[in-house]
Amino acid sequence: MNLFQWLTLPCLTLLAALEIRMYVRNHQGIHLVREFVWLVAIILILFPKLTSRIAAILGIGRGTDLVFYLFMLFTIVAMFHLYGRNYVLRRDLVELARREALLSATTGRGHPSGNSDPSPPSPKMENESE
Amino acid sequence: MSLMPEDKRPIWIVIAAYNEAKRLGNTLQMLINSVAEFSVTIVVVDDGSSDATFDMARTFPVWVLRHPINCGQGAALQTGIDFAVSQDAHAIVTFDADGQHDPNDIRMMLEPVLSGKADIALGSRFLGRTANVPWTRRLLLQAAILFTRMTNGLKLTDTHNGFRAFSRRAAQTIRIRQPRMAHASEILDQIAKHRLSYVEVPVTIRYTAETMAKGQSSWDAFRITGHLLAGRFWR
């Protein structure tokens, strides 16, 4: 084993072990996906020539090109996942902002209610029935 | 039955406003003058503006709500609609803050909803008088019409017009989840999905250099499509 392998493999093994532990605890599929990534990294670092062999089988040529393509694919998938997380988070944030706006409704000058700091009727939120 | 002064059914007008301090005053004044004799209440939703939009709205006899952050026009409209529904609105009109819409069209917009002919009235600039529509905007809107026809089957002449009138039932049925500009397409999707009856009403839209500068660019069509796809994927 070379120095790079001595430095990276213990860290990756530790991450893989932690991932299994987290999956056992909460059974979330994302841990299995991450576990797969760590195991692939361990195998490819442990057997560097393996990438060249797989690349040759796939007709890519060099092993580094295969790693680069895989990295690109992984980045796209990760970005898609993050976009989705951000999308859902943003939607939750809008619901919070809406709740705040509905609770602090106020009236302008000359409004018939003459109420500039009212407590409007309890607004119905999305997850409540009409 | 069209809107008459003696008609006491509560009508609400929802205005979503973001950084509209300059134009909002004029819009509200025109609106108040044109609906003064009717049982109409106006609610302005300040969508986290950084200018004096909130203070400007509060100088008028209207309800004012404020998002603590900028959430987008779709989100602001849904907030206003939620508020109007919670205050027992019988019908709800959505109206742009920038003065593009003509308050005199409100009666025509409400007519099919109040008479029960339709659940929703959708304003159409191509059925009405519309001044200074740039050709790029016209082309983009035609593409949107085609897209709408292909995706939900609605045969409309204008798909991205913010001037709409909802019956109470429609306002309770439709839930805008697209916070930004994609909400216009989402509303049409929900009309088709829930089989709500709709009618198009000719309305006047006034384009000015100012409103065009603040409005959507042609590239936003791609962003809107992306948001719609994202909305279908992450429900």
Q: How far apart are CA A39 and CA A43, in angstroms?
A: 6
Q: How far apart are CA B162 and CA B100, in angstroms?
A: 10
Q: What is the pLDDT of residues B78-116, one digit of tens each?
A: 999 999 999 999 999 999 999 889 999 999 999 999 999
Asked whether B35 and B106 are in contact (CB, 8 A), the reply is yes
Please tell me which of A81-90, B4-13, B144-153 the model is most confident about, judged by mean pLDDT: A81-90
Spell out which residues of chain A touch residue B172, defining contact as CB-CB under 8 Å.
130
Cα of B227 to nearest chain A Cα, Å = 9
The residues near A107 (Cβ < 8 Å, ≥ 6 apart) are A113, A114, A115, A116, A118, B58, B61, B62, B63, B64
Whether residue B206 lies within 8 A of chain A, CB to CB, comes out as no
The one-letter amino acid at B151:
T
Spell out which residues of chain A touch residue B67, defining contact as CB-CB under 8 Å.
97-98, 100-101
Question: Which of A114-123, B49-58, B64-73, B186-195 has the least mean pLDDT?
Answer: A114-123
Q: Which CATH architecture has domain B11-233?
A: Alpha-Beta Complex (3.90)
Q: Tell which residue, B41, B50, B49, has the closest CA to residue B81.
A: B41
Q: What is the pLDDT of residues B181-223, one digit of tens each?
A: 788 888 999 999 999 999 999 998 877 766 666 656 666 667 7
Which of A81, A90, A94 has the most B C-beta neighbours within 10 Å, making it the best mutation to test the interface with B? A94
Instruction: For residues A61-80, give the mean pLDDT.
Output: 90
A125 pLDDT more than 50: no
Q: Is B234 in contact with A122 (Cβ distance < 8 A)?
A: no
Asked whether B18 and B70 are in contact (CB, 8 A), the reply is yes
Spell out which residues of chain A touch residue B186, defining contact as CB-CB under 8 Å.
none
pTM of the model: 0.78
Whether residue B2 lies within 8 A of chain A, CB to CB, comes out as no
In the prediction, which pLDDT does B119 show? 96
Domain residue ranges of chain A, discontinuous segments joined by +: 1-46, 64-103
In the prediction, which pLDDT does B217 show? 61
Domain residue ranges of chain B, discontinuous segments joined by +: 11-233
Residue given tokens 């700091």 in the structure block: A117
Residues 29-88 of A with CB under 8 A from B: 83-84, 87-88
Q: What is the pLDDT of residues A41-50, one digit of tens each?
A: 999 999 988 9
- Tokens found for residue B19: 């950084």
Asked whether B136 and B176 are in contact (CB, 8 A), the reply is no
Whether residue A89 lies within 8 A of chain B, CB to CB, comes out as no
